[in-house]
């Protein structure tokens, strides 16, 4: 029987993404937000994942203009970073996705102190798009110290012929657009003194801010590695539909219950 998108909405489906994704219709998902298992940094009870099959399925189910945010880091094995993240990024590009941006999620702390190099505090957030992104709601929460002043010189843009077009002076707004390095608490810091049942959750703010940036209300957000259900919680706060896929049955149950019980409301962001 052919599946329709409604069959998957607002559920965590328990199974291997390489198989489950095959049932999701082409060009049906507005946004994919995920953090895959990377380089066996943490053991997810022995599950491995078939990256290339899943990547091709993600490309197929994404709508034209849809965006995929792939949050990933690399393990260090025998003294060398694996660079799997880059290999994955190049593979996404080779199957037709644009690398729209390479962003950084900078953590407010580090998990493993390093003795021979600087402490590792970030993961990549590769932003891929299928064609030109159809939605971009930039978060403007970077306080401008020169608020109210007008720019000094003429604001210019370079034209294709090398000349400049003049855009006139601007008055500096209270908030400017965020840069592409996002710094904030880890899931552990967000839930200080609470037990987190999944070993590798990303923080709720990171899911929320990505969803705000790349989707509108009622859009469909897919997380093919649902883990503890953070993407689903953020979707519930923001009025988006989610589709979660998770291979480990205890995490399927954990994420389903977490999303059901999730009541927190997103804080007001200065989105101007």
Contacts (Cβ under 8 Å, ≥6 apart) of 3: 23, 24, 25
172 binds ligand SAM (CB under 6 A): no
Q: What number of chain residues touch ligand SAM (CB under 6 A)?
A: 23
201 binds ligand SAM (CB under 6 A): yes
Nearer to ligand SAM, 134 or 211 (CB): 211
17 binds ligand SAM (CB under 6 A): yes
Measured distance CA(99)–CA(92) in Å, rounded: 8
Cβ distance 133 to 161 under 8 Å?
no
51 binds ligand SAM (CB under 6 A): no
Q: Taking the complex as a whole, how short is the minimal distance between the CB of residue 146 and ligand SAM, in angstroms? A: 37
Q: Spell out the alpha helix ranges (H) of the chain.
A: 17-20, 51-61, 84-94, 187-190, 204-214, 230-238, 249-261
Measured distance CA(214)–CA(93) in Å, rounded: 19
Q: Spell out the alpha helix ranges (H) of 21-123.
A: 51-61, 84-94
Binding mask 208-247 for ligand SAM (x = CB under 6 A): ----------------xx-xxxx--------------xxx
DSSP state of 5: G
Among 123-131, 138-146, 195-203, 214-222, the segment contacting ligand SAM (CB under 6 A): 195-203
Nearer to ligand SAM, 81 or 155 (CB): 81
37 binds ligand SAM (CB under 6 A): yes
Nearer to ligand SAM, 108 or 171 (CB): 108
Cβ distance 263 to 237 under 8 Å?
no
Query: Beta partners for 93?
Result: none
Candidates 5, 121, 200, 269; binder of ligand SAM (CB under 6 A) is 200
16 binds ligand SAM (CB under 6 A): yes
DSSP state of 201: P
Query: Beta partners for 257?
Result: none
Nearer to ligand SAM, 126 or 225 (CB): 225
Question: What part of residues 129-158 is at the interface with ligand SAM (CB under 6 A)?
Answer: none
Look-up of token digits 């957030």: 125
Residues lying near ligand SAM in the complex (CB under 6 A): 16-18, 35, 37, 44, 47, 49, 198, 200-202, 224-225, 227-230, 245-248, 251
């Amino acid at each position: 029987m052919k599946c329709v998108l409604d069959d998957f909405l607002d559920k965590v489906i328990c199974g291997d993404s390489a198989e489950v994704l095959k049932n999701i219709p082409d060009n049906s998902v507005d946004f994919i937000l995920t953090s895959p298992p990377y380089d066996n940094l943490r053991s997810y009870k022995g599950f491995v994942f078939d990256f290339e099959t899943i990547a091709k399925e993600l490309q197929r189910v994404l709508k034209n203009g849809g965006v995929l945010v792939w949050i990933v880091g690399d393990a260090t094995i025998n003294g060398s970073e694996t660079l799997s993240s880059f290999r994955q990024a190049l593979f996404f590009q080779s199957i037709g996705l644009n690398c729209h941006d390479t962003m950084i999620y900078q953590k407010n702390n580090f998990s493993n102190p390093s003795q021979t190099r600087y402490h590792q505090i970030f993961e990549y957030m590769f932003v891929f798009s299928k064609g030109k992104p159809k939605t971009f709601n930039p978060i403007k929460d970077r306080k401008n110290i020169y608020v109210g002043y007008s720019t000094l010189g003429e604001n210019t843009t370079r034209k294709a012929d090398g000349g400049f077009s003049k855009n006139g002076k601007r008055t500096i707004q209270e908030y400017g657009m965020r840069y592409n390095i996002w710094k904030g608490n880890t899931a552990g810091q967000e839930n200080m003194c609470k037990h987190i049942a999944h070993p590798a959750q990303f923080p709720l703010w990171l899911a929320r801010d990505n969803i705000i940036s790349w989707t509108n209300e009622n859009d469909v957000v897919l997380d093919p590695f649902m883990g503890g259900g953070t993407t689903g919680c953020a979707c519930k706060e923001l009025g988006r539909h989610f589709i979660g896929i998770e291979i480990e049955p205890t995490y399927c149950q954990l994420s389903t219950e977490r999303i059901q019980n999730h009541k927190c409301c997103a804080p007001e962001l200065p989105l101007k």
